[in-house]
Amino acid sequence: MPKALLVYPEYPVTFWSFKYALKFIHRKAAFPPLGLLTIAALLPDDWKTELVDLNVRKLTDKQLQSADFVLISAMNVQRQSALQVIDRCMQYSKKIIGGGPLFTEEYSEFEQVDYLVLNEAEITLPIFLDDLQKGNPKHVYSTEKFADLSLSPIPKWSLINMHNYATMNLQYSRGCPYNCEFCDITRLFGHKVRTKSRDQLIAELDALHSNGWHDDIFMVDDNFIGNKAKLKQEILPSMQWWQSKFRTPHTFNTQVSIDLADDPDLMSMMSLAGFTKVFIGIETPNAESLTECNKTKNVNRDLLGSIGTLQRAGFEVAGGFIVGFDHDPDSIFDTQARFIQRSGVVTAMVGLLNALPGTKLFRRLHLENRILKRSTGDNMDFSMNFIPKITAQKLISGYQDLLQTLYSPKVYYARVKTFLRVFRKVKRKSRPLSLNDLYAFVKSAIRIGLFSRSGVQYWKLIIWTLVHRPRLLTSSVTFSIYGYHFRKTLRLNIKALSSVELD
């Protein structure tokens, strides 16, 4: 009976990790490794499986020694941790199986990995397992086909302790109908939006609930609304029905394109199904840069108006923003700061443009002899892997100033108020306040309100909320905790800035 040790590498400290925010709610990581949990469910029933998420716990020598195979799945940003795991496996002469975006996009750089099972595992993993059973496994397994998601099993939730995580994950669809120049999603998952069935989705929701999860669920789809017709006809009505079974329904968040704001019916149905937060790639208010990167849905649009529409419909909008496009003028940093502040997008994830392997952007810059090095996968670490039109020194300096402006206490808390003024909370059954919520408030009041430079701004926000929007007090506390994480992460990254090579 083979034993498979599934290892998820560690994330560096970034805005996305929410490392410092998680400490306020007794959680160790934001999300579980959904890919590896799905892989575990695809392995033969007679295999013993154990999962180690390095964001939650350490990998011991004993675990490595007892394993027959070590399966590693990672994204580009997890490269350094993945390499460390590979080195440890080699010390014990363990057979390594690599998969996920990191290995799929750069498999030629991982000769030390015994078996590279690339692309979508629903296709390549069964072929590898069959060859392994016959005694003649190959080094690389890849495919240009895309998986039938009806073959995707329910993740093996029994491998994790759910209470280590802030949010659970679920995937309904893969692929995106758009083709942004900087994005690698269409290369990995295609333009056609492939979806699971209604019954599959409900079965996965049931599995989460029956395993003891009664809190937030993140639909990890790169564009949840890629197939609007199916959402309206089948999926969202089924989710509403599923939610109606519980006294305290779950809440959902996901990633969408900004054209959700054009569809009142879809917004209403998503809200009734329990969606409260959407992440949108807004990128930039500069029209020429949007055209450059082929962000078609954002061009010729009142971006501020669309964001406001979503906020008034009951959605907290988190936004992705980018600086470093060829068409960005020198004034882009001030323009981005003004736009974000006016928008009330509190969670504004601003990153430097980077050229990921396999993207149209990488190919274009390679032809222009502008690629400098491999991307780290972390677009917030003050590094670039290509020669920008704005000088690298000016770009990184302007980016640093932009982040320091956006997350300075006075500006940040003002942006929270802007959102709270516009946001209209939809009336629905909701989870009552828990002891963990109370703990988070007390800890934030002490750590932020009493022992940080933003204490005055914190208390002004809490008092303002109690007077003007008392139903949103939980949101005020949550945003205060987010701001604490963003500022602490930013300070750490700026300290490391001196080691960045400005080629």
Say which residue the tokens 């963003």 belong to.
Answer: 486
At 216, phi and psi to the nearest 5?
-65, 145
Distance CA 105, CA 498 (A): 29
3-141 CATH: 3.40.50.280
Q: Is 405 in contact with 397 (CB distance < 8 Å)? A: no
What pLDDT does 498 receive?
A: 56
pLDDT attached to residue 501: 43
DSSP 483-494: HHHHHHHHHHHH
* Upper half-sphere CA count for residue 336 (Cβ side, 13 Å): 31
For 54, 86, 121, the CA distances from 73, given in Å and listed in that order, are 12, 11, 11
Q: Give the Cα separation of 400 and 390 in Å (integer).
A: 15
Taking the CB of residue 62, how many other CB atoms lie within 10 A of it? 8
Rg (the chain; Cα; Å): 23
Strands (E), 153-265: 168-170, 173-174, 194-195, 217-219, 252-256
Q: Output the pLDDT for position 4.
A: 98
CA 440 to chain centre: 23
What pLDDT does residue 425 have? Answer: 86
Instruction: Give the tokens for residue 170.
Output: 């679920």
Predicted pLDDT at 243: 95
Return the CATH fold of 167-420: TIM Barrel (3.20.20)
Q: What is the pLDDT of residue 412?
A: 98
> Three-state DSSP class for 280?
strand
CA 275 – CA 326 distance, rounded (Å)? 36
- Cα 225 to Cα 102, 228, 442, distances in angstroms: 26, 5, 38
Per-residue pLDDT of the chain (503 residues; tens, 9 = 90+): 899 999 999 999 999 899 999 999 999 999 999 999 999 999 999 999 999 999 999 999 999 999 999 999 999 999 999 999 999 999 999 999 999 999 999 999 999 999 999 999 999 999 999 999 999 999 999 999 999 999 999 999 999 999 999 999 999 999 999 999 999 998 899 989 999 999 999 999 999 999 999 999 999 999 999 999 999 999 999 999 999 998 888 999 999 999 999 999 999 999 999 999 999 999 999 999 999 999 999 999 999 999 999 999 999 999 999 999 999 999 999 999 999 999 999 999 999 999 999 899 999 999 999 999 999 888 788 988 999 999 999 999 999 999 999 999 999 999 999 999 999 988 776 777 778 889 999 999 999 999 999 999 999 999 999 999 999 999 999 999 999 999 999 999 888 765 444 33
Closest Cα to residue 162, out of 273, 46, 51, 279? 51
CB 14 within 8 A of CB 378: yes
> CATH 3.40.50.280 in the chain, residues?
3-141
Domain with CATH 3.20.20.70 in the chain: 167-420
Cα–Cα distance measured from residue 10 to residue 85, given in angstroms and rounded to the nearest whole number: 10
